[in-house]
């Protein structure tokens, strides 16, 4: 079913997503881009796209919709999402559009709409665009006010220069790190290998040809998907490996022993380095992150601000309170001195910087972190039963310490916790637990799954 006829909200947690030519059709994208162009009030808009098979064509459709509304479009072609975000701000655009479905399978595509601050637009602005689209109240320009599209290829150099300006290049050069980059056949191939090599690293790449069919692996960089990278790091004797998703805003790291680590643990390493130089600064992370983030902050006399899950909440919170570092469990690192959005190339450069300042191996740095184990699962639940199921669980857990920043996070007396959140993308409730032992984490997930199954109604 085309998104044009789908009832309910069109924007999900990360922009609009749909199956190419089935849900996300060219005519839908054209009209929706007219609604976006109207929202941007005929201003200057940056457009970039990922490496999916349909992305160049859909980006041209976006250009057409925007210029029809009088917007002046700067079209940068293949680009990572963090590149589009960074340049939207740097070039003082009224907004930006990234044509990407991030880590979704190859048959998907999508649109991320970016504000003039280079961060995704807020939910109420998404709603305004949706309403404009539904009411077909977009404003096409008079014949002599139609905008035009200018192609630009200088953005990549400006983006790389900003990352490099935040790294001590001399130290990076001295350490002569060897790094394997797995770009998932996505646009990260354009940024991370070049950034690391210009910083003096010896870079080996895998899956670095852009191919929208994602022939090597699914574009979601979760530790279970990264055997090829682990093998590459081990066989080449590299210092570390880094894997991105399809639009390279996320980075998951593999240590020198070939072990892949969850994003909140690599974030904790970056946090430890950052707070050593800037003790007392506030750190921002979603409630789904490991408490290792909190323990590292406490060591440096710092505090953590916990947000709802979703990159925009981390970015906007950092902006609001003036924090300079944020991170997510899925491999998002937000480094404010460069740009406060999650950025895979910036994350890779930071890990290179940390290693170049220390004599230890990455595996040793990970081993020194406090150890926690996590476990996750989900329970099918119709969207209209999610709220009542959550409320029922909340009532039953009233004797525990409960955090309702996003869903329900229940703290146990031994400081293990379980987070129960309605999924934003499917009819299910997600359960995520962290504890001092793997067994305890699994046990918590099992217990809350059984509890939820009493109240959830599967579809």
Residues near Mg ion (CB under 5 A): 102, 245, 247, 249
Q: Which residue lies nearer to Mg ion by CB, 247 or 256?
A: 247
User: Cβ of residue 260: shortest distance to Mg ion, in angstroms?
Assistant: 17
Q: Measured from the CB atom, is 102 or 230 closer to Mg ion?
A: 102
- What DSSP character marks residue 309? S
The tokens of 269 are what?
Answer: 């390493």
The first and second tokens of residue 29, run together, are 């994208």
Secondary structure (3-state) at 90: helix
Q: Are 292 and 272 in contact (CB under 8 A)?
A: no
d(CA 96, CA 117): 10
Q: For the CB of residue 103, give the shortest distance to Mg ion in the complex, in Å.
A: 5
- In the complex, what is the shortest distance from the CB of residue 221 to Mg ion, in angstroms, rounded to a whole number? 9
In the annotation, is 197 catalytic? no
Min dist. Cβ of residue 252 to Mg ion (A): 12
- In Å, how far are 65, 109, 276, 428 from 35, measured between CA atoms? 8, 18, 46, 31
Beta-bridge mates of residue 409: 403, 419
Q: Which residue, 255 or 343, is less far from Mg ion as judged by CB? A: 343
* Selection from 390, 398, 403, 365 nearest residue 448 by Cα: 390
Which of 175, 214, 179 has the alpha carbon at shortest distance from 197?
179
Out of 33, 54, 102, 311, the active site residue is 102
- Helix (H), strand (E) at residue 429: strand 428-435
Residue with CB nearest Mg ion? 102
Q: Compute how many other C-beta atoms are within 10 angstroms of the C-beta atom of residue 93.
A: 24
The secondary element (H helix, E strand) that includes residue 430 is strand 428-435
Is the Cβ of residue 200 or residue 246 nearer to Mg ion in the bound state?
Answer: 246
The nearer residue to Mg ion, 102 or 191, going by C-beta atoms, is 102
The SS3 of residue 168 is: coil
Strand partners, 213: none
Select 104 or 317, whichever has its Cβ closest to Mg ion: 104
Minimum separation from the CB atom of position 50 to Mg ion (A): 9
Tokens of 351: 């890990």
Kindly state the smallest distance separating residue 382's Cβ from Mg ion, in Å.
Answer: 28
Residues marked as catalytic: 102
């Amino acid at each position: 079913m085309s998104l044009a006829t789908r009832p309910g909200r069109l924007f999900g947690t990360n922009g609009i997503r749909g199956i190419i030519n089935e849900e996300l059709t060219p005519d839908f994208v054209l009209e929706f881009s007219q609604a976006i162009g109207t929202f941007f009030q005929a201003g200057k808009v940056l457009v970039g796209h990922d490496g999916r098979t349909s992305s160049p064509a859909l980006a041209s459709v976006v250009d057409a919709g925007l210029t029809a509304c009088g917007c002046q479009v700067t079209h940068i072609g293949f680009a990572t999402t963090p590149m589009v975000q960074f340049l939207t701000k740097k070039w003082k655009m009224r907004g930006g559009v990234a044509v990407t479905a991030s880590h979704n399978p190859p048959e998907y595509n999508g649109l991320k709409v970016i504000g003039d601050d280079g961060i995704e637009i807020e939910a109420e602005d998404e709603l305004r665009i949706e309403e404009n689209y539904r009411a077909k109240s977009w404003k096409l320009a008079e014949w002599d006010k139609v905008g035009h599209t200018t192609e630009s290829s200088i953005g990549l150099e400006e983006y790389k220069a900003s990352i490099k300006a935040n790294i001590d290049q001399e130290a990076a050069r001295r350490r002569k790190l060897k790094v394997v980059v797995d770009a998932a056949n996505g646009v990260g191939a354009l940024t991370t290998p070049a950034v690391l090599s210009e910083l003096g690293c010896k870079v080996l790449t895998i899956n670095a040809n852009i191919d929208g069919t994602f022939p090597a692996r699914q574009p979601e960089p979760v530790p279970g998907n990264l055997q090829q990278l682990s093998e590459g790091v081990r066989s080449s004797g590299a210092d570390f490996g880094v894997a991105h998703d399809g639009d390279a805003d996320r980075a998951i790291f593999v240590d020198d022993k070939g072990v892949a680590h969850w994003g909140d643990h690599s974030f904790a390493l970056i946090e430890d380095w950052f707070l050593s130089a800037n003790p007392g600064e506030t750190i921002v992370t979603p409630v789904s992150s490991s408490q290792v983030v909190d323990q590292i902050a406490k060591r440096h006399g710092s505090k953590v601000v916990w947000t709802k899950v979703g990159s925009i909440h981390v970015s906007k919170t950092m902006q609001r309170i003036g924090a300079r570092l944020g991170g997510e469990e899925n491999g998002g690192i937000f480094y404010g001195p460069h740009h406060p959005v999650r950025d895979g190339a910036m994350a890779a450069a930071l890990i290179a910087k940390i290693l170049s300042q220390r004599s230890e191996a990455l595996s040793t740095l990970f081993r020194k972190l406090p150890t926690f184990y996590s476990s996750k699962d989900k329970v099918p639940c119709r969207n209209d039963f999610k709220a009542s199921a959550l409320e029922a669980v909340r009532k039953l857990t009233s004797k525990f310490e409960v955090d309702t920043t996003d869903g329900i996070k229940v703290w146990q007396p031994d400081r293990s916790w379980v987070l129960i959140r309605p999924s934003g993308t499917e009819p299910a409730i997600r359960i995520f637990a962290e504890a001092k032992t793997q067994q305890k984490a699994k046990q918590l997930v099992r217990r809350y799954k059984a509890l939820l199954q009493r109240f959830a109604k599967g579809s």
